[in-house]
Amino acid sequence: MSYKVEKVNPYDSDRPKNEQVIRMFNEIAPNYDRLNGTLSLGIDNYWRRDALKELRKYHPRHILDIATGTGDFAILAQQILRPDKISAVDISDGMMEIGKEKVKKRGLEKIISFENQDCSTMTFPDNSYDAATVAFGVRNFENIDQSFQEVLRVLKPGGVFLFIELTTPGKTPIKELYATYTKYVMPFLSGLFATEQRAYRYLPASIAAFPQGREMMLILRKNGFTNIRLRRYTMGISTLYIAEKPVK
């Protein structure tokens, strides 16, 4: 089954989504961190921290951070969870190069490693990780079902899959305010940063097309996950999903 968001592309409809996502993130990588902090007014850091605290009860020793980008979620996971190892993967080398510099400055090279991996066709062995995480990256997956099945495969039985995603608020007046912000303010700010504006037109379009709430929970269940729950942040601007791999 395909989902609408898989057909939402940064540039055109003629090339594979993964190819376009790589180009987009390689182009915006130098300004990505500064612009994201500006666009979210810094509140995304609270969402990330609160989400990762949900993993404490699982005591994960080996974490897979998918769509790691510039490594912020992996670095935060190391600070909060103190795992033995974090494997940070992405398809954008430009983003990961910035992440590698951050990790090096913090002296975390022995804990956090980076590798170019497409999450729909990962090369890791079965049952390798205690937890898998994604921060604001599932919208960019070319094939959500295949990617979720791969996450399930590489998790150990009883392992947890946790991801945060931007979502569309359902209630007024925040729904209208958010629509105005994404349509007008976001492109304006990206222009101030001399950033590829098509990337920030793609953002609200992909949010609107993304399966949300109960629909996403059903997708996770269909792909083999259990004990699925969610938490909405900031009146529905973002949503945290948590699911587990069954213990056979």
Q: Does residue 10 have a cis bond before it (omega within 30 degrees)?
A: no
Q: What is the CATH number of the domain that holds 32?
A: 3.40.50.150
Report pLDDT for 248: 79
pLDDT tens-digit map of 15-61: 999 999 999 889 888 888 877 766 666 788 999 999 999 999 999 99
Domain that holds residue 226: 4-244
Q: Which pTM was predicted?
A: 0.94
Question: Comparing C-alpha atoms, which of 169, 92, 84, 163 is closest to residue 130?
Answer: 84
Count of the separate structural domains present in the chain: 1
170 — pLDDT class (breaks 50, 70, 90): confident
List, for residues 80-113, the tens digit of each pLDDT value. 999 999 999 999 999 999 999 999 999 999 999 9
